[in-house]
Structure 1
Amino acid sequence: MYDLFDKFYENVIKYNLINPKENIVAGISGGIDSVVLFDLLVRLTDVMDYSLYVAHINHGVRGNEADRDEQFVEKLSQKYHIPFYSTKVDMNGYAREKKISSEEAGRILRYGFFRKILNDIGGGKIAVAHNKNDQAETVMLRIIRGTGIDGLRGMQFLTQDIIRPILNMKRNELEEYLIENRLEYVEDYTNVETIYQRNKIRLELFPYIEDNFNPNIVDSLYRLSKNAQIDSDALDEIAEKKYNLLVKKIDNNSIIIEGASLNKEVPAIKNRIIRKAIFCLCDDIIDIEQKHIELVADLLGKNMTGKSLNIAKGIVARISYGDLHLELADKQKETALKEKELSIGKNIIEELRLELMIEEIDQKDIKYNLINTKYFDYDKIEWPITLRTRRESDIFYPLGLGGKKKLKKYFIDKKIPQEERDNIPLVCDSNNILWIIGYDISDIFKITNRTQRVLKMQYQKY
């Protein structure tokens, strides 16, 4: 006799969804899909040694019904002695506050709660009850909104810390399992309301397509998602290698990509590189559509220095000296560096997350091949020395130039983006700039055959 558990167990093993001794937090609403998932996970504890937890979130939109659902899931958990966690949130209030849809607000609050539990119990994965029908609805919704091949992939069995063990099971399979095993569940009336796009697809669009075009539309869209995944994975592998070659600078707030080379890539690869960079910054690309990627690619193609574009998720794209800069809009202004006196030994500059080591060494110990290390004629320095950022009147004597140059002109010649210039650290003595960290030292303080004492400065980010 066919048992849905066999299919479930095959998914767990094939996609490496659950490992021995691992913690699994199951998001259980009390509806058919989640009750079946819960039952399958409980049965799995008989053949696999792992820890199961149940999480339920009351979205605060259905009054007494929502309270009933919470009590139902709690009793279900107690029946099998499974630890139960619940919370109540104001989904609609959060949506208004963040100016996002109720669906997006619910998703953010749910996964935020699930991950808090994971953090409290020492890590693990989150199990959710997305099934084949959900996959078809997701793909159709993305087609309607406008998507590329990545969007057609839909959801995956394993995405970071989220597992979907019943993703390849149709809703009618779950209903049959529920009946055969005499499982109880609760109804959510919002599932039959057509105020949500996903509900409209399930309740109106799919039945119309099934009656007039394709009775197997769910299976067809699921196959489309699998085929798209195969092609997308191959392109991703190529794009990943290109991305690692083209990224010039990356930190928590910004990414700089070599523009000329990126612009030469075919659109399929170029768009993936841009998408990956955006994902690295915001860690969530649910609101990033194909049109946003194409706008960034178009901005790059025009190669207009100083031109910028605000895209979704608070990310700004701009072109500077031919390179593509992607930045978090609310973090573009870095913390201003206050002038700091430096001393022999280790100097910590917290604003820049910079460690600067200063020490006197013998001339025979100089190693000029170290990029982050510079050497100075100790006796030419007028102490104290300080670390600061640029001033309007700054003059610099670049090594090997044989003369002076306004610091502003030096930055322009080095093609340093204007918005970065105020944050570049300068090591200075009483009268001159010794070192523009990350760039040149002053010709005044270079080591010569007359040098008696050597001062070594070495920096590193932390």
Structure 2
Amino acid sequence: MLPVQQFQDFIEQQQLFVQGNRILLAVSGGKDSVLMLHLFKAIGVDVGVAHCNFSLRADEAQRDESFVALLARNLGLPFYVTHFDTKKYAAENKISTQMAARDLRYQWFEEIRLSEQYDYIALAQHQNDAVETVLINLTRGTGISGLHGILPKRDRLIRPLLFLNRQQIEELVKANNIDFVEDSSNASTYYTRNKIRLQVIPHLQEINRNLEKTFAENISRFAELETFLNVQVQKLATKILNKRADGVYIPLEEITRLNPQKLLLYELLKPFGFGEHVIQEILDCLKALSGTHFFSATHQAIINRNDLVIVEKNVSVTANQFIHPATESIIFAAHEMALKFTEEITFESDANKAFVNAGKLIFPLVLRNWQNGDKFVPLGMRSLKKVSDYFIDEKVPLHLKNTTPILVNGNGEIVWIAGMRQDNRYKLTTATKKVAIFELKIK
């Protein structure tokens, strides 16, 4: 007899889905996924069957596909199948075959879920899979999230067999005469997971005969610990992460107060892609000179005087943009600059606007990044000043120096450090007949 009541109880306890939801079942044809399919059929949930052929086991892969297709047809269920060139994908992305198969199947499952309007994707992972995942994570190095392994529910993925272990599944399949197909690669120790399953876990079970149950309890504790940590980190982020238009600022003084320091800074910076080794580098350099940079794949962290500033990584310096009299607006990196003319002699005290004597402009103007050696005459002054010195005097954050648009006249003179200071040579005077109004906006 199938454990229908236990199955339903687990679904309710873990709040995996509600009545009326449609579930897409990932079915390989092995014991686990076939048992899951029969359990879902027994409780009358609206399901569909999805099968991936990874083209890795030749005739055996085709056998699995045919078996699952026939099973779905006999049960009167929708059947979806796809074929992957897994080895090619792995080579192109420089990842393992296992990782390639994982990426491909999850992407495809989600595509089918959306296109066919299913609410969740059900995976047939069980308690032994959870044990193996934790051991793999511990072996490779992990944070708290790796200690809880696979969860019963994460986003649109559900794992309704986590109340069973491998031995129980084998006994149920045998007792209920359920047909399945065997994946011959499960007996190979070539793959890391199989090596853990076949060579490591048996020794651990000699120490603890209830290994799966113990791990299930531990996983539950770690999951609760992660939830608690996430709540505390969110509170901390609200308190010390200052989000501004040009980046996220964290006072260095606040970082020195963190306890435990490395764990909390890692969790705070994790959304920006910084790994543990970079976090340690940041902590080692808290008293370093301004300008020290640290990088993730997507962001950079900069020690800027009294703050650690997080900004998106600049891939390259923005190319020069030309402005003609007919130009109404122009895009420059993360900025937009608008231009209009008026014969009304007008002026506003707004750092994001420059009111320029149009009679002195030589078109085309150039909008570019700051360059070493740039000089201008700050509004209200008479002598030239290096732009780099101006940035220092005004305490302009280091990361803004290379992203601040510089408006340059056709004769090479700087007209405006956009958003900061206009050049005195282009100010409005009593002799001005026409005004060019430049306005800087952040996209």
Mark yes or no: TM-score above 0.5. yes
Among 408, 413, 426, the residue aligned to 2:406: 426
Give the superposition deviation at 1:272. 0.7
Matches within 5 A, 1:1-400: 4-18=3-17, 24-43=23-42, 46=44, 52-121=47-116, 124-211=119-206, 213-244=207-238, 245-246=240-241, 248=243, 257-258=249-250, 260=252, 261-266=254-259, 267=261, 268-278=263-273, 291-292=276-277, 294-301=279-286, 303=288, 314=297, 319-321=302-304, 324=308, 332-334=314-316, 336-341=318-323, 346-349=328-331, 352=333, 354-359=335-340, 366=348, 368=350, 373-379=352-358, 382=361, 384=363, 385-399=365-379
Q: Structure 1: which 5+ residue stretches go unaligned?
A: 280-287
Which residue identity is paired with 1:4?
P
Decide whether the 8 Å contact of 2:278 with 2:294 is kept in 1: no
Q: Distance in 1 between matches of 2:195 and 2:92?
A: 26
Q: CA RMSD in A?
A: 3.9
Among 414, 418, 434, the residue aligned to 1:437: 418
TM-score, structure 1 normalization: 0.78
Q: Secondary structure at the match of 2:55?
A: coil
Q: Distance in 2 between matches of 1:363 and 1:9?
A: 77
How many residue pairs match? The answer is 434
Q: Distance in 1 between matches of 2:155 and 2:434?
A: 54
Q: Secondary structure at the match of 1:224?
A: helix
Give the superposition deviation at 1:187. 0.8
Which residue identity is paired with 2:197?
R
Cα 1:438/1:162, change in 2 over 3 Å? farther
Aligned to 2:388: 408
Q: Distance in 1 between matches of 2:323 and 2:200?
A: 69
Higher mean alpha-carbon deviation, 155-164 vs 220-229, is at 155-164
Cα 1:180/1:144, change in 2 over 3 Å? same
Q: Distance in 1 between matches of 2:323 and 2:117?
A: 43
Decide whether the 8 Å contact of 1:263 with 1:270 is kept in 2: no
Q: Secondary structure at the match of 2:48?
A: strand
Give the superposition deviation at 1:427. 2.9
Which residue identity is paired with 1:388?
R
Q: Distance in 2 between matches of 1:114 and 1:33?
A: 18
Cα 1:125/1:300, change in 2 over 3 Å? farther
Q: Distance in 2 between matches of 1:250 and 1:74?
A: 54
Cα 1:337/1:22, change in 2 over 3 Å? farther
- Asked which structure has the greater CA Rg, the reply is 2
Give the superposition deviation at 1:20. 6.6
Give the superposition deviation at 1:68. 0.8
Cα 1:445/1:15, change in 2 over 3 Å? farther
Q: Secondary structure at the match of 2:273?
A: helix
Decide whether the 8 Å contact of 1:131 with 1:167 is kept in 2: yes
Give the superposition deviation at 1:273. 0.9
Decide whether the 8 Å contact of 2:122 with 2:158 is kept in 1: yes
Q: Secondary structure at the match of 1:258?
A: strand
Give the superposition deviation at 1:443. 4.5
Q: Any idea what the Cα deviations from partners look like across 1:371-397, whole Å, max 9, x if unmatched?
A: 7x4242455652544423334553233
Q: Any idea what the Cα deviations from partners look like across 1:34-77, whole Å, max 9, x if unmatched?
A: 12222334445x35xx5x43322222222211111111122222
Decide whether the 8 Å contact of 2:376 with 2:385 is kept in 1: yes
Q: Secondary structure at the match of 2:404?
A: coil
Q: Structure 2: which 5+ residue stretches go unaligned?
A: none
Decide whether the 8 Å contact of 1:238 with 1:269 is kept in 2: no
Q: Distance in 2 between matches of 1:342 and 1:215?
A: 79
Q: Any idea what the Cα deviations from partners look like across 1:120-161, whole Å, max 9, x if unmatched?
A: 446754322222221121112222223232321222233233
Q: Secondary structure at the match of 2:194?
A: helix
Q: Distance in 1 between matches of 2:171 and 2:157?
A: 26
Q: Distance in 2 between matches of 1:346 and 1:177?
A: 73
* Percent identity of paired positions between Structure 1 and Structure 2: 29
Cα 1:326/1:442, change in 2 over 3 Å? same
Decide whether the 8 Å contact of 2:353 with 2:419 is kept in 1: no
Cα 1:106/1:402, change in 2 over 3 Å? farther
Give the superposition deviation at 1:8. 3.7
